Amino acid sequence: MSAVTTTQVSRNDMAAWRAAILAWYDAHGRSLPFRGVRDPYLILVSEVMAQQTQIARVADAWRAFTSRYPTVAALAAADQADVIREWRGLGYNRRALNLWRAARAIVDDHGGAVPRTVADLEALPGVGPYTARAVAAIAYGTPVGAVDTNVRRVLARTTTGSLDGFTVRWLQELADGAVPADRAADWTYAVMDVGARFCRPNRPDCAPCPAAAWCLYASAVGAGAAAGERSSHTARARQPPGRFSATTRWLRGRILDRLRDGAPGAWLGLEAPIGVHDAAAVRMSLRTLAADGLAELHPDEPLTARLPVG
């Protein structure tokens, strides 16, 4: 089978490949509360939440967050401490502040309307190349390809037979060229779902994949590569996992949860140890949280902090 690229296959082949993926998506795509909405702000929230977070966890959080802050103006006017509280359970808490700052930038610099262009979207705090293209494609129907890890696997394996040997620029050009002009939003979700359901990092399920008939990986090396990936996956699975509670990320999360539980605006003294982390580790994590804008340190009392006020 030939690779699905804009230079190596006919328009009919490209159209058939896209049609197969979209047909599968129409029948089997994941049903999520933010799919089907076209409000650019609501889409921006969902895409920021989906950064580094499993999509199943995003659904309930998105409902709660957008119920509390239903418009970009509402989020821009919110107290940052309240936004951090509302983000509880999603992790990577800097995203909450970046989203709040993005809302303020949208109100101040764009008249309250989420920008339409990829360049203007990328200029917002916390919005990178993937999120900018996802919002442009889903909210505005712009034919640009949003390349996350799922999409990267689908496009790379289909066109090259592996996950190596190409540049980021080449893959982005391929992704952009693959987007159907009339279904940019559906296509964005469809390729993500194919990557998550079939084109997994380990043990990809090639046989039922709607892209299999055009995929170099599935047709040429799929069986052998899948077996190799199973062996590698099994070997990694046998390694004892590290204790998450021993990580700085765990400690930062526990500290933030305690600050969230505190009275608004009140200082909270933190007793050490927290888990296996001593007072020095707690102090260091507090400093990094403050540097990120997620906490405010008491000027005189050690190990005392609160969520940022204002």
Residue 146 gets the label, from left (phi > 0), alpha (psi -120 to 50) or beta, of: beta
Per-residue confidence band for 98, with pLDDT thresholds at 50, 70 and 90: very high
Indicate if 206 and 231 belong to the same structural domain.
Answer: yes
C-alpha R_g of the chain: 22
Alpha helices in 198-278 (DSSP H): 216, 222-238, 248-261
Residue 11 pLDDT: 56
Q: How many domains does the chain have?
A: 3
Please tell me the least confidently modeled range out of 8-12, 159-163, 268-272, 287-291: 8-12
Answer yes or no: do 149 and 26 share one domain: yes
Helix 248-261 to helix 279-291 angle (10° resolution) is 70
Amino acid at 10: S
**Is 259 in contact with 295 (CB distance < 8 Å)?**
yes
Residues 209 and 232 in one domain: yes
pLDDT of residue 3: 47
Residue 225 has pLDDT above 80, yes or no: no
| The pLDDT of residue 293 is above 50 | yes
Residues 156 and 202 in one domain: yes
Which of 140, 164, 188 is at the close of a domain?
140
Phi, then psi, of 114 in degrees rounded to 5: -60, 130
Q: pLDDT tens digit string along 67-76?
A: 999 999 999 9
Lowest mean pLDDT among 31-40, 156-165, 277-286, 299-308: 156-165
103, 124 Cβ separation under 8 angstroms = no
Query: Nearest Cα to 308, choosing from 83, 147, 158?
Result: 83
User: What is d(CA 286, CA 295) in angstroms, rounded to the nearest whole number?
Assistant: 7
- pLDDT of 47 > 90? The answer is yes
Residue type, 262: G
pLDDT (tens digit per residue) in 230-277: 434 334 444 455 688 889 999 999 999 999 999 999 999 999 999 999
Cis upstream peptide for 273 (omega within 30°): yes
180 with 226: CB under 8 angstroms? no
Domain boundary among the residues 186, 209, 238 is at 238
What residues form DSSP beta bridges with 28?
Answer: none
- Type of residue found at 52: Q
Q: Which of 47, 122, 229, 301 is flagged as catalytic? A: 47
Nearest to 61 by CA among 32, 39, 38: 32
Spatial separation of the C-alpha atoms in residues 131 and 143, rounded to whole Å: 14
Q: What is the mean pLDDT of the chain?
A: 88
Predicted confidence at residue 124, as pLDDT, reads 98
| 220 — pLDDT class (breaks 50, 70, 90) | confident
Q: Give yes or no: residues 161 and 19 share one domain.
A: yes
Residue after which a domain boundary falls, among 140, 173, 190: 140
Pick from 3-17, 33-47, 250-264: least confident: 3-17
- Four-residue CA torsion sign, 199, 205, 209, 212: positive
Domain with 87 in it: what CATH number? Answer: 1.10.340.30
Comparing 5-14, 36-45, 259-268, the range with the smallest average pLDDT is 5-14
Angle (CA) 57-263-80 rounded to 5° is 55
In this prediction, what percent of the chain has a pLDDT beyond 90? 76
pLDDT at 12 over 90: no
| Domain extent at residue 279 | 244-306
Task: Read off the pLDDT of each residue in 128-136 and give the average, rounded to a whole number.
Answer: 96
Question: How far is 237 from 250, CA to CA, in rounded Å?
Answer: 22
198 and 206 in contact (C-beta within 8 Å)? yes
CA distance 108 to 213: 49
pLDDT > 90? residue 99:
yes
Q: What is the mean predicted confidence (pLDDT) over 2-28?
A: 75
Question: Is 47 in the active site?
Answer: yes
Q: Which two tokens stand for residue 265?
A: 């605006």
- Do 123 and 258 have their domain in common? no
Position 213 scores a pLDDT of: 92
